[in-house]
């Protein structure tokens, strides 16, 4: 259920790859957010209110939640499934941010991982409802953040409190178990401190180890920019879960539905569906993201022949109808 790899090398672009895995087809479109857009934390009580300081492009699922994206400062944010998440009881003294807009709040508001980490300590993240494996439950998620310096953070919500792993060494993320346990398990494998062979399965810990192992095998100085991007994309495809592998008894195994590469140096966002043969991308500097500009979106599913740069294929649209805390997608 989702994977992420951060790749850095001296003199090379900072690249973040992610997979979105889910039990069913996920209607996902790319949305722009111009500077100055006003937003709410979507909680019934004491919601955070803000205006977008930074413009962004984001992958919005079901027209209801931001799953990940990149802003003009070179910050990338991604949400991933974590079954161990525990958001605790609502504390109305804290500003509330629903999971549906958690990633968007960070994209709108922060330029660096350090800023995002500090903000995590003063807000309360509140879940919405989601149907997963046929059962209605909470939006059990955690967040990864990376910036144009190569800094990184993994933010989990456990026992109602943020648990933060902050540092450039935290490059790979998957799902269960919690991140401290993932790091410990990783050291048991060949090439990562142990002797076990690199696993080939689809469980979260297996994908985590595989991503960590292959990420360190990429050339430090690729032959070209294309080679750098395709190297990260090859790892994300290796960490993907094939169609047909969904297991109702294993919450961390679902088919990969789409993947992205965020180039934090050049402010470029790559996107592909797992069931389509084409990769598209958009450069943020080719979009009108000035204050007062309209929100725009691009739907790859409606443009089967699209490939390459698609900045001119974005069209004005209404804002996403972000879910309120406690609500569920249609």
Structure-token pair, residue 322: 């972000």
Phi/psi at 11 (5° precision):
80, 0
Give the per-residue pLDDT at 23: 85
CA 207, 178, 261: angle at the middle one, nearest 5? 45
pLDDT at 329 over 80: no
Q: Catalytic annotation on 2? A: yes
Q: Among candidates 194, 226, 198, 255, which has minimal Cα distance to 1?
A: 255
Q: Compute the distance between CA of residue 91 and CA of residue 93 in angstroms, rounded to an integer.
A: 5
Spell out the domain ranges in the chain: 3-174+257-316
Q: Which of 68-77, 119-128, 133-142, 189-198 has the lowest mean pLDDT?
A: 133-142
By DSSP bridging, strand 280-283 and strand 308-309 are parallel
In contact, 20 and 75? CB cutoff 8 Å? no
Helix (H) or strand (E) holding 19: strand 15-21
The CATH classification number of 3-174+257-316 equals 3.60.60.10
For 245-266, write each residue's pLDDT tens digit. 877 777 668 899 999 999 999 9
Burial of 211 (0-12, 13-18, 19+ CB in 10 A): buried
Which among 2, 119, 143, 310 is annotated as catalytic? 2
> Residue 17: helix, strand or coil by DSSP?
strand
Question: 25-59: string of b/e by CB count within 10 Å (b at 16+)?
Answer: ebebbbbbbbbebebbbbbeeebbebebebbbbbb
Structure-token pair, residue 246: 């969904």
For 26-80, write each residue's pLDDT tens digit. 899 999 999 999 999 999 999 999 999 999 999 999 999 999 999 999 999 999 9
Q: Compute the distance between CA of residue 229 and CA of residue 263 in angstroms, rounded to an integer.
A: 8
For 85-95, write each residue's pLDDT tens digit. 999 999 999 99
């Amino acid at each position: 259920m989702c994977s992420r790899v951060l790749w850095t090398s001296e003199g090379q672009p900072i690249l973040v790859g992610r997979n979105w895995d889910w039990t069913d087809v996920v209607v996902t479109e790319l949305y722009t957010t111009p500077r100055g857009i006003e937003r709410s934390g979507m909680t019934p009580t004491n919601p955070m209110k803000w205006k977008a300081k930074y413009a962004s492009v984001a992958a919005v699922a079901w027209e209801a939640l931001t799953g990940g994206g990149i802003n003009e400062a070179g910050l990338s944010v991604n949400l991933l499934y974590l079954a161990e998440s525990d958001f605790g009881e609502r504390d109305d003294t804290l500003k509330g941010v629903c999971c549906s807009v958690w990633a968007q709040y960070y994209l709108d508001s922060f330029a660096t991982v350090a800023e995002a980490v500090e903000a995590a300590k003063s807000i309360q993240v509140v879940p919405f409802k989601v149907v997963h494996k046929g059962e209605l439950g909470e939006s059990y998620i955690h967040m990864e953040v990376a910036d144009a310096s190569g800094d990184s953070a993994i933010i989990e919500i456990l026992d109602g409190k943020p648990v933060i792993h902050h540092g450039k060494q935290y490059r790979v993320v998957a799902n269960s178990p919690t991140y401290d346990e993932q790091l410990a398990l990783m050291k048991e494998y060949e090439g990562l401190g142990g002797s076990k062979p690199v696993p080939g399965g689809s469980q979260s810990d297996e994908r985590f180890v595989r991503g960590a192992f292959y990420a360190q095998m990429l050339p430090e100085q690729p032959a070209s920019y294309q080679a750098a991007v395709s190297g990260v994309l090859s790892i994300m495809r290796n960490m993907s879960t094939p169609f047909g592998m969904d297991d109702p008894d294993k919450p961390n195994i679902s088919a990969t539905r789409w993947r992205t590469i965020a180039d934090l140096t050049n402010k470029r966002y790559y996107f592909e569906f797992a069931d389509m043969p084409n990769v598209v991308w958009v450069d943020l500097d080719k979009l009108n993201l000035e204050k007062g500009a309209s929100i725009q979106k691009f739907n790859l599913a409606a443009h089967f022949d699209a490939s390459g740069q698609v900045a001119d294929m974005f069209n004005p649209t209404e804002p996403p109808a972000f879910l309120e805390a406690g609500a569920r997608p249609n």
